[in-house]
Amino acid sequence: MAVWGKTWAKCVSAAGLLALASACTPMPSHQGMIAPKDTSVGFDPKLIPVSFASLPGWEEDHLAETLPALRRSCEKFGRMKESKLIGPKGIGGAAGDWKPICTEAYSLPDGDSQKARAFYESYFQPYLVSDLKKNKAAAGLFTGYYEAGLRGAKSKGGPYQTPLYKRPKDLVLVGLGEFKNNWRGKRLAGKLVNGQLMPYATRAEIEAGKLRGKDLELVWVDDPVDAFFLHIQGSGRVLFADGSTMRVGYDGHNGHDYTSIGRILIERGEITKEKMSMQAIREWLAAHPNGGQKLMRENSSFIFFRELKDDGPIGAQGVVLTPGRSLAVDKRFLPMGLPVYLHTFTDPISPAPISRLLMAQDTGGAIKGVVRGDVFWGFGEEAANRAGKMKEPGSFFALLPNNSLNRCQVCEAAEDSSIVSQ
């Protein structure tokens, strides 16, 4: 067993993960709405076995709430060939390894967290997720996102002047992992020009009219700032004057890198890093309407939308997200559908830290790195408030199927029993 594994176990047994924050891992600075720079090149994920007893708050979590999310992931696993590997480097095993797990998950009664806890403890082994090339760090940044709410109309007029665009027919999305394994999780987008893939229009070019007259307007909304944040969140509900709503979701992007306007505001001294949040950015944009449009256009990334007929927004795994129980991760390192136990060292809303089991069911342009996550909090003011303020340091633990552990290429063996028993 690596020295790091022993060190972490001692920290947990001595004073919990709060001690880990100060004594055992370097902590990232709070970044709010800042997208961390992609420094994932050279990352070395390592999974270190621990016990369920060592997971902070495990006994208090209402685990019955996780079953709808797990069952949605099971539906995806059930459609795969049993030999298909789940995620990179065999971390999630093969689809066939999930068959007995999912069969049991469907048989569990709703609302019984005690039985749900016994189920997870019977079928899974928890592993601390760490990045050994980043000073052996098992701590990272955890943020939140939500389903946005906007006011809109189906045609342009009055206050409804900002369009949400449908995906253009000439937009080409390329999954580079189809060409080389070491490009897994990376994508390009553009358009074909004389047989060559060329960059698509930027946000500034699109807002200046590049797509005008092509019948791509899905809906018109009354606030360009709301539209901008919808691009960040990826999904939302548009409320019409007659009381009806349209649920919209991600349907592609223009291929340009996401630029955090929060980071720009910090670099310019407009907002301090400590006070950065979605709410702080909105306040700055409202106070600087002219400079705000120019600032938003510095983010060249642009998202296209489609109408959703489902019960909620759809994540990267292709399943409906569950409020408070779905997590966006960097799928270059963790597979879609994997149960992940999150523990943050603080919580912006509550005096108690966030300790809960979630399902990795989504990803995002700003979610880069081994120990990095984005919690989906749902729809409404409470969800938006929590998501906008969440910028918490913490750690997470991957729950791997017991019958698939021999497939995991980055999992350490439990050579020292003290690592998995506290």
pLDDT tens per residue, range 92-129: 999 999 999 999 999 999 999 999 999 999 999 999 99
Q: Which residues pair with 376 in a beta bridge?
A: 145, 326
Say whether 268 sits in a helix, a strand or coil. coil
Domains (range + CATH), the chain: 3-144+318-419 (2.40.40.10), 145-308 (2.40.240.50)
pLDDT score at 409: 78
pLDDT of residue 9 exceeding 50: no
Dihedral sign for Cα atoms in the order 62, 66, 68, 74? negative
pLDDT of residue 41 exceeding 60: no
Task: Tell me the pLDDT tens digit for each residue of 191-208.
Answer: 999 999 999 999 999 999
Band (pLDDT 50/70/90 cuts) for residue 134 is low
Task: Give me the residue label for tokens 């991760």.
Answer: 329
Task: Tell me the pLDDT tens digit for each residue of 164-181.
Answer: 999 999 999 888 878 887
Q: Which residues pair with 411 in a beta bridge?
A: 47
* Residues 6 or more apart whose Cβ sits within 8 Å of residue 41: none
How far, in Å, CA of 28 to CA of 143, rounded? 12
Does residue 129 contact residue 398 with C-beta atoms inside 8 Å?
yes
* Residues 6 or more apart whose Cβ sits within 8 Å of residue 304: 165, 166, 167, 168, 171, 250, 251, 252, 253, 254
On whether the pTM is more than 0.75, the answer is: yes
Mean pLDDT of the chain: 85
Band (pLDDT 50/70/90 cuts) for residue 137 is confident
Q: Of 312, 371, 303, which is closest to residue 343 (Cα–Cα)?
A: 371
How far, in Å, CA of 271 to CA of 267, rounded? 8
pLDDT of residue 246 exceeding 90: yes
Q: Pick the more confident residue, 260 or 12.
A: 260
Q: Of 42, 90, 70, 30, which is closest to residue 389 (Cα–Cα)?
A: 30
Across 246-253, average pLDDT: 93
pLDDT score at 179: 85
